A and B are shown apart, each in its own frame.
Chain A
Amino acid sequence: MSRRFEADFGRGERRRLIWNAAMTGVFSVAGWVAILFIFLIFVFTFKETLPIFTDPEVREEANLYKFFFERQDGPTLAEQFIWQPTSEQPKMSLIPIILGTLKATFVGLLFACPIGVAAALFSSEFAPARLREVIKPVIELLAGIPSVVMGFFALIVLATWLQSAFGFTYRLNAWNAGLALGIALVPIIYTISEDGLTAVPRAFREASYALGASRFQTAWSVVMPAAAPAIFASFVLAFGRAIGETMILLMAGGNAAITSFNLNDPLRTLSATIAAELGEVVNGSAHYSALFFMGTLLFVITFVSNTAGLWVIRRMQIRMQGEKA
Chain B
Amino acid sequence: MPSPATAALRGARRGADRIAVTLLALSVILIVGILVVIVGNIAWHGVRTVTWEFISQPPRQGLTAGGIFPAIVGTAALVILMTIAAVPLGVATAIYLHEYTPAEGLSLAWRRFKKSKGLPGRRRLFTRFLSALLATITRSAVANLAGIPSIVFGLFGLGFFIQFIGRSIDRATLPPVELLWGQGSLLWAALTLALLTLPTVIVATEEALRTVPHDLREASLALGATRWETIRRIVLPGSISGILTGAILGISRGAGEVAPILFTGAAYYLPYLPERVTDQFMHLGYHVLILSTQSPDVEATKPLLYGTVFVLLMLTFLLNLTGVIIRSRTRARLRA
Contact = CB atoms under 8 A, between A and B. Distances in A.
Q: Do chains A and B touch in the complex (CB under 8 A)?
A: yes
B105 A246 contact: no
Contact of A23 (B42, B163, B228, B313): B228
Interface in A1-52: 16-17, 19-20, 23-24, 26-28, 30-35, 37-38, 40-41, 44-45, 47-48
Interface in B132-162: 134-135, 137-138, 140-156, 158-160
A35 B142 CA distance: 7
Interface string A224-248: 0000000000000100110111110
Given A123-B28, A139-B31, A274-B155, A152 B228 contact: no
A153 B41 contact: yes
Contacts of B81: none
B38 A153 contact: yes
B207 interface: no
Q: Which range contains the number of A residues in contact with the other chain?
A: 35 or more
Q: Which range contains the number of B residues in contact with the other chain?
A: 35 or more
A295 interface: yes
Given A121-B24, A251-B293, A35 B137 contact: yes
Contact of B99 (A26, A27, A38, A156): A27
Contact of B100 (A24, A145, A215, A250): A24
A16 B256 contact: no
Interface in B290-331: 292-293, 302, 305, 309, 312-313, 316-317, 320-321, 324
Contact of A140 (B20, B97, B103, B320): B320
A275 interface: yes
Interface in B111-137: 134-135, 137
A145 B313 contact: yes
Main secondary structure of the interface of A (DSSP, over half): helix
A323 B105 contact: yes
Contact of A318 (B105, B149, B263, B289): B105
Contact of B198 (A34, A145, A245): A34
Main secondary structure of the interface of B (DSSP, over half): helix
A81 B327 CA distance: 51
Contacts of B252: 144
Most chain B beta-carbon neighbours within 10 Å: one of A28, A146, A292, A298: A146
A325 interface: yes
Given A151-B292, A292-B155, A20 B149 contact: no
Interface in A226-282: 237, 240-241, 243-247, 250-251, 271, 274-275, 278-279
Contacts of A237: 147
Contacts, number: 262
B31 A244 contact: no
A110 interface: no
A247 B259 contact: yes
B105 A324 contact: yes
B23 A118 contact: yes
A121 B289 CA distance: 36
Interface in A196-244: 214-217, 220, 237, 240-241, 243-244
A302 interface: yes
B309 A149 contact: yes
B142 A149 contact: no
Nearest to B153: A41
A141 B23 contact: no
Contacts of A140: 320, 324
B144 A214 contact: no
B272 interface: no
A102 interface: no
Contacts of B42: 149, 153
A240 B147 contact: yes
Interface string A99-133: 00000000000000011001101110011000000
Given A126-B21, A247-B289, A271-B149, A17 B258 contact: no
A19 B226 CA distance: 9
Contact of B152 (A126, A141, A295): A295
B28 A122 contact: yes
B160 A118 contact: no
Given A139-B31, A141-B317, A148-B288, A299 B96 contact: no
B104 A147 contact: no
Most chain A beta-carbon neighbours within 10 Å: one of B101, B153, B155: B155
A43 B143 CA distance: 18
A19 B92 CA distance: 15
Interface string B159-203: 110011000000000000000000000000000000100110010
B51 interface: no
A55 B246 CA distance: 45
Contacts of A75: none
B30 interface: yes
Nearest to A131: B28
B198 A278 contact: no
Interface of B: 13-14, 16-17, 20-21, 23-25, 27-28, 30-32, 34-35, 38, 41-42, 89, 92-93, 95-97, 99-101, 103-105, 107-108, 134-135, 137-138, 140-156, 158-160, 163-164, 195, 198-199, 202, 226-229, 231, 252-253, 255-259, 262-263, 285, 288-289, 292-293, 302, 305, 309, 312-313, 316-317, 320-321, 324
23 contacts: A16-B226, A20-B229, A30-B96, A31-B100, A31-B138, A34-B202, A38-B144, A45-B155, A119-B24, A126-B21, A137-B324, A144-B316, A145-B38, A149-B256, A151-B289, A151-B292, A153-B38, A153-B42, A190-B31, A245-B149, A271-B149, A292-B155, A307-B144
10 smallest CB-CB distances across A and B, nearest first, come from A244-B149, A146-B256, A30-B92, A306-B147, A31-B96, A20-B226, A118-B27, A122-B24, A144-B320, A216-B17
